[in-house]
Amino acid sequence: MKPSPTDKVYPVSGIATIVDAIEAEGVASLEALDGVHLSPPQLRSPETRISLSQVIQCYRNASQLSADPFFAYHAGLRFHVSTYGMYGFAILSSTDFRQAAHFAEQYHQLVSGDVVITFKEKDRYGIWTIEPAPLPLVDARLYSFIVELHFGIIVSLSRDIMGASFMPRELRVTYNSINSTIDRQPPNIFGCPVLFGRTENALVLDKQWLDGPAKLGNELTYLEVIKLCDQLMEEMHLRIGLAGSVREVLLINLAQQISFDAVAKRLKISTRTLKRKLRQEGTSYRKIVDGLRTQLAIKYLRDTELTIEEIASCLGFGDTASFRHAFRRWTKKTPGEFKRKTKIFRRFGS
C-alpha cells in the first residue's frame, strides 16, 4: 500500500534543504513554511515526519518566493547523500554507479513521494526518468519545478558517488519552454542541452559512468545498510493509511490500554467501519497493537536500562507475567534472554 498525500511518513530533511536554499536569498523561513504547518524547531528535528502534501506546499512557496529563475535546479544541487540518512549512506556505499542507481530506484519511497523515478540502460546511455506524482495541486509551473529539482538532485548525488566531474549528456522534458524556468538558459547552468517537448522527463548520461568504481563504495557496508533500509521500509508501512492513524493513537495511549471503541471514537469513525477498513488494509486492531508493542519492547530492552517490570507497565500490561508470555509469543524468546543476547552483541560485536 502506498502512502496517501496526507500520510506523514517522509523525513523532513528534504523540506529543510529547500528552506535553506530560499533563506540564502534573504527570505524568512516562516514565509517558506507558510501553509506547511511546520515550526522551525520541527524543521530541524530528525524525529519529524512529513506528508507529500506538505512537501508540495513547500515547493509551491519556494517557486513563488525565489527570484532565481533556476532555483529548482540550484536547490537540487544542495541535496547530498548526507541529506538522506541511511538511504544516502547506501548510495554512497554502492560499489559502482549501476548499483547505486538500482538501489535509489527501488528504495526511493523512503525519502520522497513527489516523483516516480526509474533507471534503465539503452544503447550507449543510462537514462533516469522522472514523473511527478499526479496531484491536483501540481500545475504546469509546479510540474516543471519538480522535474528540474530532481535533475539537480540526481546530478548532485552522482557527483557525490563518482566525483565532481560527473555531467549528464542531456536533459529531456515533456513540457514546452513556455512552462519552464529554463528557457534560453545560459550554457553554464546545466552544462548540457535541454530538449523540450519529449515523450518523458529524462536525464541521460554516458554509459561509461556506470562501470566506473565509486569513490567510497564498499560491498559489505552496502549489504549491511540495505538491511537497515529494509527495516525503515517496514516502519514506513506501519504509518500508512488508517492503520497508521490507529498506531498514532495507540502510541499516545498505550500505557492506558485504550480500547478499540475508544480508538474509533478518537478517529471519528464507527467501530464497524474501522474494523472493515483495517481488514481492507490487510491488518486488524490486534495485529497493530501487537506489532507496536513488539517494536517498543525490543527498543526498550535494547536501548534503555528499564527493568522488565517497568517495560511491562509502559506497554500497558497488567503484570510482568503477561508481558513475558506475550514477548515469547512474538519473538520466541523471553525478555530476559533477549536483553542478555543484546548485551553480548554489544560487548563482542557479534
pLDDT tens digits for 13-46? 999 999 999 999 999 999 999 999 999 899 999 8
pTM above 0.85, yes or no: no
Given a cut of 50, whether residue 348 has pLDDT beyond it is: no
- Summarised one tens digit per residue, pLDDT across range 182-241 is 554 555 677 888 899 999 999 999 998 887 777 788 889 999 999 899 988 877 877 778
- Summarised one tens digit per residue, pLDDT across range 102-156 is 999 999 989 989 999 999 999 999 999 999 998 888 998 899 999 999 999 999 9
Q: Are 263 and 249 in contact (CB under 8 A)?
A: yes
Given a cut of 60, whether residue 179 has pLDDT beyond it is: no
Given a cut of 80, whether residue 270 has pLDDT beyond it is: yes
The stretch 278-295 carries a mean pLDDT of 86
Q: Are 258 and 249 in contact (CB under 8 A)?
A: yes
Given a cut of 70, whether residue 343 has pLDDT beyond it is: no
Calculate what percentage of the chain has a pLDDT beyond 90: 50
Between the two ends of the chain, the Cα-to-Cα distance in Å is 35
The stretch 327-349 carries a mean pLDDT of 73
pLDDT of residue 347: 47
pLDDT of residue 199: 95
Cell of 263: 480508538
**Distance in angstroms (rounded) separating the CA atoms of residues 281 and 314:** 28
User: What is 102-127 written as a DSSP string?
Assistant: HHHHHHGGGT-SSEEEEEEEETTEEE
Given a cut of 80, whether residue 181 has pLDDT beyond it is: no
- Summarised one tens digit per residue, pLDDT across range 79-97 is 999 999 999 999 999 988 8
Residue with cell 549501476: 98
Given a cut of 80, whether residue 342 has pLDDT beyond it is: no
The stretch 276-280 carries a mean pLDDT of 88
Could you tell me the domains of the chain?
72-219 (no CATH), 240-348 (1.10.10.60)
pLDDT of residue 349: 41
pLDDT of residue 201: 97
pLDDT of residue 185: 54
CA angle 258, 262, 267 (to 5 degrees): 115
Q: Which of 81-85, 253-257, 341-345 has the lowest mean pLDDT?
A: 341-345
Mention every residue, 6+ apart, whose C-beta is less than 8 A from residue 158.
97, 166, 205, 209
